[in-house]
Amino acid sequence: MIEDLWSGLINFSAQFVIPDWGGLIQLLPVLLLIPVVLYITWTIYKFATAGPTRRGKRRLQPVAPEGVHMPGPSFAPFLGAFGAAVFVFGVIVGDIWLLVGFAVLAVTLLYWGREALRDYDAIPARTGEAVVVGMLPAPAGTPPEGVHVPPPSFRPILAAIAMTVLVAGVIIGGWALFLGFIVLVITLLGWLWDSRKEYEAVEEADRTGHLDLGGAPAWPKATFAAIAVLVAFAVLFSSGLLPNSGTGGTGAVASPAPGGGAAPPPASAGPSLPAADVTLTAVNIDFNPKTLTVPATKPFTIAFDNQDSAPHDVVIKDGSGTAVFTGELVTGPKVVVYDVPALPAGSYTFSCTVHPNMTGSITAS
């Protein structure tokens, strides 16, 4: 009884100690969608319950002070977020989707830029032919009375850094992907916290008619330090320097060979590969060898040896870019044998769907 409970506990904890990276990658969109849906639901609830609730009162349309141009509502931020999501999807999938994602992101950003220019052009800078100077007198360093101006923030820069770390984790895989996701979560939670304080500041400005911004924001040293520590851990875990953290060497020193010089290091006593027509190895986020020769017009087998802790697979495509074979996703270290259907004579390419930079060529003859 106790042994069964202990075995069950070990099997359950193995999901977290040695996670299925392929499953985590597939869950990333869902994990990112959950806080977004919760935040949007909370925002809709706050807006629905905001304003006077006494009988005979109604919400008033805000009116900007004289001489102040306030930009109207815009879908540009939503379109920009959609474009960024399509671009990240293209980076993960690769092929034509990378170009599609880049095009969608470019179009949405151009739309946002055009809308910003229209807002700028709408600012009442001229009265007739004379340029209005000093149109908004206000105390030094503060906005005019009744106008709330958001203070400067480091959050957009931090979010851009976090997205860069996450994309690098998608390419590298393994612990780098997991820690990149943690970096993104930390920065987004900080941004939501600032947005909450900003909302409270707007309510305060509505009550008092004025708001003191409190000066320039302090450098987010703690957040920068946390991101640096997580990136260092990701590099350390992905480098193979730690046991079971990558595909690094064991650190054994070669003994000197007779007659001087160093003898080649002894071969590792790894598991023997199963019989197959060709052998392909994934190591250090790369294929070895880069070129394969297989028999044409008859099925063949590939012994795929994934020595990385990151998930890999093998997808074979013809000259038009159409996938003619897609192997199962393998989280290493593990060896599988792919049964590939017959290919007509010609040249083909193979790649990994998780890491599009892993590519090679196949000649069927």
CATH of the domain at 360: 2.60.40.420
* Same domain, residue pair 116 and 186: no
For residue 198, give every residue at least 6 positions away whose Cβ sits within 8 Å of its Cβ, in sequence order, or none: 150
Domain presence at residue 272? no
Alpha-carbon 267 to chain mean position: 38
Domain presence at residue 94? yes
pLDDT in tens, 119-139: 766 655 444 434 443 344 444
pLDDT in tens, 48-106: 777 655 555 555 666 666 656 666 678 888 888 888 888 888 887 777 888 888 888 88
Domain presence at residue 273? no
CA distance 83 to 221: 30
Domain that holds residue 154: 145-210+220-242
CA distance 340 to 329: 15
| CB-side neighbour CA atoms (13 Å) of 196 | 9
pLDDT in tens, 136-183: 444 455 555 555 566 677 888 888 888 888 887 777 777 778 888 888
Q: What is the DSSP letter of 262?
A: B
* Same domain, residue pair 94 and 125: yes
Q: Is the entire prediction scored with pTM above 0.75?
A: no
Taking CA 248 as the corner, what is the angle to CA 246 and CA 250, rounded to the nearest 5 degrees?
Answer: 120
Place of tokens 């480098």: 239
pLDDT in tens, 336-360: 999 999 999 999 999 988 888 889 9
Phi/psi for 356 (5° steps) reads -60, -20
Mean pLDDT score of the chain: 74
- Total domain count, the chain: 3
Domain presence at residue 318? yes
**Residues in the chain, total:** 365
Place of tokens 């998608």: 170
> 85: burial class by Cβ within 10 Å (0-12, 13-18, 19+)?
middle
CA distance 13 to 247: 23
